[in-house]
């Protein structure tokens, strides 16, 4: 039994004194005696008594009940009321202050003592229980647990919220029928919750179930976990009590972890987790797939270094370990399980632990061998010609640019050789494109064999190749290479059981003399190549500035020709061909004229070859033919007979068979009598011994055309081809006539040609007869026909027909 410290609150002094004495006699210590509620509160806070003996009716604004209530709430000090009254109203008020006893005055010492002892003892028990509950509640809060209780008998649920839940603020209680609670659960999880609860209710034991709430709100899903156990207490119906916990964060973490595991297992990238010493802790399936090592093998390595062909430098690892660097990325090579190396794109990152020290490394990689191979292939394709594998134009430009820079630095020369195959088109046309392609690959290999490995050989397209020779010390070095190229090219090529002979024309431009820029050099090499072609092909030609001028003129002419055709700037003149014996005009040669707007009259011997090159010869030939037909038709309609007219035909005309059928058709349509039209062809056409040409000539002849071989004697010395063709006229080139008066050799040649023609049954026409002596000599040698300024220059159609009519009446040339 313990006698404590008592605070007496009593406004009647006598009674207060009496109480004090009584208590002291009983062994209590009276720490203070006060008379008002206000003082009682102050003193209680100051003295912290074990008990307050409180009179209910006190003087002042505050009575004993109010003061007691405040003291108990603030200090939990037990209160025993002391009052002269014990009627119900007073008792009821007193009750609200949660007193530990109520004494009605006067009080006997025994009664007082017993009441005080009971009150203090109960207060101690209460304080212990409060402390326990306080600790329990804090522990529940620490674990973020809420308490719930399901009274299965009355189907009622209580939730005591210690932490605050979505549905319930902190420190509050829900008390509602169980169905209200179940309604808040997500439909997907409800069956599991109900099943767990029902089973526990029926069979006892405990359960754990997690579920989502119906409306997770803006933050996404809310997850709760409920634990419950059935308690069967004596005389009570079954209750299930348990805790409820918000596990949203845990769930999210678990979900993230699950996703991470899925990524780890299913990603195409190889992954290895390493510890701080870079020993393998785990690898994913892609690691094994790409490197060939099993997890057991990788875990057995002393460090991940075993994987590398050349491990990372110690410096890099140190930087990652001491946090100076968080991530390294780059290309490395791994050693595959089977012993070969694989190209890898790798990311190596350091993972710090809670204290900031690196605890792990994560290695993520992908095998990029095939990507690199594809890239190399693409690079190659972008810079090479797919047929021959030689460099393409783009690569050539790059290399030439590089060589030019080198040459400037070291004061050396660079040579650009542009090579065009001669008559490659014939191969394509006669043997087909596959054979043409085959030939190009053979040529490519030959060209490459003639130069050093450091020189560039490129195919620019079609049958055009280019070689860049760097580090050239003297032009003679280029001569030798060019000659080697020509020799190599002219070696026979075996194509589909046929032996072909090709040759090339090579144009050469030198840097720095012929230009310092890539485009300029290529342009000039092209000029030179053109020069080589002009000079008879199968040769090389160095660039000369005069070629540039010629090229400009060619360009001007080819563009001007289009307009000339469109705007009617072409005319057809007629040069009389006369009987040398009497000067009578027998027929005419149609000669084309073009008056250029700026440059004036341009000779056909200049523009015809250009028209042949730029593809304009077709329309021009057609115009000439139509114009000749038109004039002939005019003359035919007014005269009883028309003079024979010869027109010059380009060799290219014979490339397309449709040209022949069309001309024959046109001549027929125009009603041309037989032998009115003569086609003048050149030796060049006959030299190839092309059966198609022979057929075409025969076709024309059978359609009433005649054929003249123009400029005879200038082209080729072989005469054997003459007998293979059916011709009508042979025109002695004017170069043999020019010196006929004075040059005995020309005289001999002319006599020989005339004799030869006689034997072959061909009529001879002499071109460019300018003097009477020439005419006489020709006549004596047996040549009947001639044309030249001695008789008449080429003239307009009307002037010609007038002359024709006049001389055919009676006309003798003078001279």
Q: What is the spatial distance between Cα 303 and Cα 599, in angstroms, rounded to a whole number?
A: 86
Q: Does 595 bind ligand C2E (CB under 6 A)?
A: no
367, 526, 680, 683: residue in contact with Mg ion (rule CB under 5 A): 680
Instruction: Show contacts with Mg ion in window 228-287 (CB under 5 A).
Output: none
Q: Does 576 bind ligand C2E (CB under 6 A)?
A: no
209, 415, 592, 722: residue in contact with ligand C2E (rule CB under 6 A): 592
Q: What is the spatial distance between Cα 725 and Cα 241, in angstroms, rounded to a whole number?
A: 123
Q: Does 794 bind ligand C2E (CB under 6 A)?
A: yes
Q: Does 627 bind ligand C2E (CB under 6 A)?
A: no
Q: What is the spatial distance between Cα 198 and Cα 557, in angstroms, rounded to a whole number?
A: 105
Half-sphere exposure of 257 (CA within 13 A, CB side): 6
Q: Does 770 bind ligand C2E (CB under 6 A)?
A: yes
Q: What is the spatial distance between Cα 403 and Cα 412, in angstroms, rounded to a whole number?
A: 10
Which of Mg ion, ligand C2E, none does residue 787 bind to, with CB < 5 to 8 Å depending on kind? ligand C2E
In this structure, the chain runs to a length of 815
Q: Does 284 bind ligand C2E (CB under 6 A)?
A: no
Measured at CB, which residue is nearest to ligand C2E?
788
Instruction: Tell me which stretch binds ligand C2E (CB under 6 A): 111-119, 218-226, 268-276, 782-790.
Output: 782-790
616, 711, 713, 785: residue in contact with Mg ion (rule CB under 5 A): 711
Number of other CB atoms surrounding residue 710 within 10 Å: 23
Q: What is the spatial distance between Cα 246 and Cα 161, in angstroms, rounded to a whole number?
A: 12
Instruction: Tell me which stretch binds ligand C2E (CB under 6 A): 199-207, 209-217, 646-654, 801-809.
Output: 646-654
Which of Mg ion, ligand C2E, none does residue 284 bind to, with CB < 5 to 8 Å depending on kind? none
Contact yes or no for 358/352 (Cβ under 8 A)? yes
Q: Does 161 bind ligand C2E (CB under 6 A)?
A: no
Instruction: Of 207, 241, 240, give the one whose Cα is nearest residue 225.
Output: 207
Which of Mg ion, ligand C2E, none does residue 770 bind to, with CB < 5 to 8 Å depending on kind? ligand C2E
Q: Does 510 bind ligand C2E (CB under 6 A)?
A: no
The residues, ordered by sequence, that sit 6+ positions from 729 with a Cβ below 8 Å of its Cβ are 646, 678, 706, 707, 708, 709, 762, 763, 764, 765, 785
Q: Does 650 bind Mg ion (CB under 5 A)?
A: no
Contact yes or no for 633/666 (Cβ under 8 A)? no
Instruction: Tell me whether strands 600-602 and 585-596 are parallel, antiparallel or unpaired.
Output: antiparallel
Instruction: Tell me which stretch binds Mg ion (CB under 5 A): 116-124, 251-259, 761-769, 804-812.
Output: 761-769
Residue 155, by phi and psi: left (phi above 0), alpha (psi -120 to 50) or beta?
Answer: left
- For the chain, the 3-state helix, strand and coil shares in percent, each to the nearest 5, are 45, 25, 30
Which of ligand C2E, Mg ion, none does residue 603 bind to, with CB < 5 to 8 Å depending on kind? ligand C2E
Q: Strand, coil or helix: what is 151?
A: strand
768, 774, 785, 800: residue in contact with ligand C2E (rule CB under 6 A): 768
Q: Does 710 bind Mg ion (CB under 5 A)?
A: yes
Contact yes or no for 362/273 (Cβ under 8 A)? yes
Pick the closer one to Mg ion by CB: 178 or 749. 749
Instruction: Show contacts with ligand C2E in window 691-720 (CB under 6 A).
Output: 710-711
648, 659, 787, 807: residue in contact with Mg ion (rule CB under 5 A): 648
Q: What is the spatial distance between Cα 263 and Cα 705, in angstroms, rounded to a whole number?
A: 87
Q: Does 646 bind ligand C2E (CB under 6 A)?
A: no
**Count H helices, E strands: the chain?**
27, 32
Instruction: Tell me which stretch binds ligand C2E (CB under 6 A): 97-105, 497-505, 580-588, 765-773.
Output: 765-773
Q: Does 767 bind ligand C2E (CB under 6 A)?
A: yes
Q: Does 206 bind ligand C2E (CB under 6 A)?
A: no
Instruction: Tell me which stretch binds ligand C2E (CB under 6 A): 106-114, 134-142, 544-552, 601-609.
Output: 601-609
The residues, ordered by sequence, that sit 6+ positions from 598 with a Cβ below 8 Å of its Cβ are none
Instruction: Show contacts with ligand C2E in window 603-622 (CB under 6 A).
Output: 603-605, 608
Q: What is the spatial distance between Cα 790 and Cα 775, in angstroms, rounded to a whole number?
A: 9
Q: What is the spatial distance between Cα 205 and Cα 224, in angstroms, rounded to a whole number?
A: 20
CA distances from 610 to 365, 554, 593, 678 (A): 63, 6, 14, 24
Site string for ligand C2E, 718-757 (x = CB under 6 A): ----------------x-----------------------
Half-sphere exposure of 768 (CA within 13 A, CB side): 14
Q: Does 682 bind Mg ion (CB under 5 A)?
A: no
Give the interface with ligand C2E as residue ranges (CB under 6 A): 575, 591-592, 603-605, 608, 624, 647-650, 680, 710-711, 734, 767-770, 787-789, 794
Give the interface with Mg ion as residue ranges (CB under 5 A): 648, 680, 710-711, 767
């Amino acid at each position: 039994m313990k006698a404590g410290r008592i605070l007496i609150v009593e406004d009647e002094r006598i009674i207060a004194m009496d109480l004090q004495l009584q208590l002291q006699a009983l062994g209590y210590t009276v720490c203070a005696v006060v008379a008002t509620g206000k003082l009682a509160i102050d003193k209680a806070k100051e003295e912290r008594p074990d008990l307050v003996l409180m009179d209910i009716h006190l003087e002042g604004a505050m009575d004993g009940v109010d003061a007691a209530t405040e003291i108990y709430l603030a200090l939990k000090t037990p209160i025993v009321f002391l009052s002269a009254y014990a009627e119900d109203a007073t008792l009821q008020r007193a009750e609200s202050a949660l007193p530990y006893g109520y004494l009605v005055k006067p009080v006997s010492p025994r009664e007082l003592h017993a009441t005080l002892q009971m009150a203090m003892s109960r207060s101690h028990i209460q304080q212990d229980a409060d402390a326990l509950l306080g600790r329990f509640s804090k522990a529940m809060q620490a674990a973020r647990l809420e308490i719930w209780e399901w009274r299965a008998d009355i189907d009622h649920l209580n939730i005591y919220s210690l932490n605050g839940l979505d549905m319930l603020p902190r420190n509050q209680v829900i008390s509602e029928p169980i169905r209200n609670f179940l309604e808040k659960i997500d439909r997907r999880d409800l069956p599991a919750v109900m099943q767990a609860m029902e089973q526990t209710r029926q069979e006892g034991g405990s359960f754990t179930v997690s579920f989502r709430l119906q409306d997770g709100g803006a933050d996404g899903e809310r997850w709760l976990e409920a634990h419950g156990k059935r308690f069967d207490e004596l005389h009570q119906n079954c209750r299930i009590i348990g805790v409820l916990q918000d596990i949203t964060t845990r769930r999210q973490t678990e979900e993230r972890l699950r996703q991470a595991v899925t990524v780890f297992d299913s990603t195409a990238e190889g992954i290895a987790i390493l510890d701080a010493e870079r020993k393998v802790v785990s690898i994913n399936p892609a690691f094994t797939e790409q490197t060939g090592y099993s997890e057991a093998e990788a875990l057995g390595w002393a460090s991940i270094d075993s994987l590398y062909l050349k491990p990372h430098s110690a410096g890099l690892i140190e930087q990652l370990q001491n946090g100076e660097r968080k991530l390294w990325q780059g290309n490395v090579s791994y050693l595959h399980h089977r012993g070969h190396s694989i190209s890898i794109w790798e990311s190596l990152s350091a993972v710090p632990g809670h204290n900031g020290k690196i605890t792990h490394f994560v290695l993520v990689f992908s095998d990029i061998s095939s990507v690199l191979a594809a890239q190399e292939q693409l690079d190659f394709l972008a810079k090479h010609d797919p047929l021959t594998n030689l460099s393409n134009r783009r690569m050539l430009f790059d290399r030439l640019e590089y060589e030019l820079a080198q040459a400037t630095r070291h004061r050396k020369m660079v040579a650009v050789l542009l090579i065009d195959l001669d008559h490659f088109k014939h191969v394509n046309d006669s043997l087909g494109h596959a054979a043409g392609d085959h030939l190009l690959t053979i040529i490519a290999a030959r060209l490459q064999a003639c130069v050093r490995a450091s020189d560039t050989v490129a195919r620019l397209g079609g049958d055009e190749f280019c070689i860049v020779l760097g580090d050239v010390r003297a032009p003679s070095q280029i001569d030798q290479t060019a000659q080697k190229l020509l020799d190599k090219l002219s070696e026979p090529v075996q194509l589909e059981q046929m032996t072909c002979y090709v040759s090339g024309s090579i144009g050469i431009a030198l840097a720095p003399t012929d230009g310092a820029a890539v485009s300029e050099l290529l342009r000039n090499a092209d000029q030179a190549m053109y020069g080589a072609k002009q000079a008879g092909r199968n040769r090389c030609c160095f660039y000369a500035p005069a070629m540039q001028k010629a090229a400009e003129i060619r360009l001007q002419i080819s563009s001007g020709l289009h307009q000339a055709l469109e705007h009617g700037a072409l005319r057809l003149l007629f040069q009389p061909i006369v009987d040398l014996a009497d000067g009578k005009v027998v027929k005419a040669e149609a000669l084309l004229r073009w008056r250029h707007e700026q440059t004036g009259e341009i000779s056909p011997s200049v523009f015809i070859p250009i028209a042949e090159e730029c593809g304009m010869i077709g329309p021009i030939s057609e115009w000439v033919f139509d114009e000749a037909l038109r004039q002939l038709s005019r003359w035919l309609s007014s005269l009883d007979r028309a003079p024979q007219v010869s027109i010059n035909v380009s060799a290219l005309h014979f490339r397309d068979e449709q040209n022949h059928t069309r001309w024959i058709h046109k001549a027929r349509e125009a009603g041309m009598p037989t032998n009115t039209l003569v086609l003048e062809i050149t030796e060049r056409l006959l030299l190839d011994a092309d059966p198609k040409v022979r057929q075409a000539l025969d076709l024309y002849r059978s359609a009433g055309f005649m054929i003249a071989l123009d400029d005879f004697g200038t082209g080729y010395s072989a005469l054997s081809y003459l007998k293979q063709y059916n011709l009508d006229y042979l025109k002695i080139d004017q170069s043999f006539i020019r010196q006929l008066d004075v040059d005995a050799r020309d005289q001999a040649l002319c006599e020989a040609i005339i004799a030869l023609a006689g034997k072959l049954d061909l009529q001879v026409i002499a071109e460019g007869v300018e003097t009477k002596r020439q005419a006489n000599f020709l006549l004596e040698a047996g040549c009947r026909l001639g044309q030249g300024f001695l008789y008449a220059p080429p003239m307009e159609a009307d002037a010609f027909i007038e002359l024709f009519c006049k001389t055919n009446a009676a006309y003798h040339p003078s001279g």
